[in-house]
Amino acid sequence: MTKTRVLSIALCLACAAGAASAADVKSVLLSSFTPKGQATLDRLDQDATQKACSTGAPLSGEAAAKIIADNTATIRYPADGQYLGDWKNGDKIAQTGTGLQSSDDPAKPSGGNCYACHQLAEAEIAYGTIGPSLKQYGKLRGNSESMLKYTWAKIYNAQAFMPCSTMPRFGHKNILTEQQIRDVMALLFDPASPVNQ
Ligand code: HEC
């Protein structure tokens, strides 16, 4: 192949990539995905935050502020003011990575899969490091009202604090129920939890 031909192919690929609009990308996805179980094609419909985070371009300050404002507006605190549930159940939720997949039973509660990204209990040696270590979370930070509220909100919708965070928006996207969030909160804050040993 001549040098000119290699160059023109490279340029053409670059121009095609640049010209691909969000609509083009969606039509390719629509033609290759098939709905299965609870994984229906409406999963390809992005909300404003997902769209803003999918462009591949750096976020402007204005776009980042809009993501924070939009996601902050979604946060629901527990109506009864109880932030903490059962850490033992929270530990199971943190260890469970199933839920929402086409093969999962939608009637069963989803897991939080927290260990996929975070260190939590010292004894657990298999954990991911996409997120910071949460080891001794409650012991190090205390359990003031503001710390409980911040942590609840972070789990409910991480993008209220960090635009385009990779952490799932557990409450906002109905991945975890209010009671499940209480249980993982207890895992983080309860002095008896393995996280705080
Ligand atoms: C796909 C990766 C991922 C998963 C799964 C995940 N997180 Fe996170 N988490 C992150 C990242 C990355 C951060 C750092 C801040 C950010 O980007 O939002 C974070 C930050 C946090 C923070 C704030 C820590 C601080 O220093 O203030 C808490 C609390 C937290 N995660 C709890 C959880 C819990 C509880 C679960 C499970 C229910 C969970 N995370 C699941 C990626 C993840």
Cα 158 to middle of ligand 1, angstroms: 7
Average pLDDT over residues 120-144: 97
Q: Whose CA is nearest to atom 29 of ligand 1?
A: 151
Cα 176 to middle of ligand 1, angstroms: 14
- Structurally, the chain folds into a number of domains equal to 2
Residue 5 has pLDDT above 60, yes or no: no
- Say whether both 43 and 138 belong to one domain: no
Domain that holds residue 19: 3-54
Over the stretch 54-107, which tens digit does the pLDDT of each residue have?
988 999 999 999 999 999 999 999 999 999 999 999 999 999 999 999 999 999
Question: Angle of helix 178-189 relative to helix 145-156, nearest 10 degrees?
Answer: 130
Q: Which long-range contacts (CB under 8 A, 24 or more apart) does 104-107 make?
A: 104/37, 104/38, 106/37, 106/38
Cα 118 to middle of ligand 1, angstroms: 7
**Residue 139 is assigned to a structural domain of this protein:** yes
> What pTM does this model have?
0.90
Over the stretch 22-54, which tens digit does the pLDDT of each residue have?
788 888 988 999 999 999 999 999 999 999 999
Average pLDDT, the chain: 91
Q: Whose CA is nearest to atom 32 of ligand 1?
A: 155
- Say whether both 94 and 161 belong to one domain: yes
Cα 102 to middle of ligand 1, angstroms: 24
**How many C-beta atoms surround the C-beta of residue 31 within 10 A?**
8
**Residue 31 is assigned to a structural domain of this protein:** yes
Pocket of ligand 1 (CB under 6 A): 94, 112-114, 116-118, 130-132, 134, 151, 154-155, 158, 162, 165-168, 170, 184
Helix, strand or coil, per DSSP, at residue 57:
coil
Over the stretch 181-193, which tens digit does the pLDDT of each residue have?
999 999 999 999 9
Hey, what are 70's tokens?
């939009």
pLDDT, residue 23, reads 80
Instruction: Please report, for the domain that includes residue 109, its CATH number.
Output: 1.10.760.10
- Say whether both 97 and 166 belong to one domain: yes
Residue 13 has pLDDT above 70, yes or no: no
- Say whether both 47 and 135 belong to one domain: no
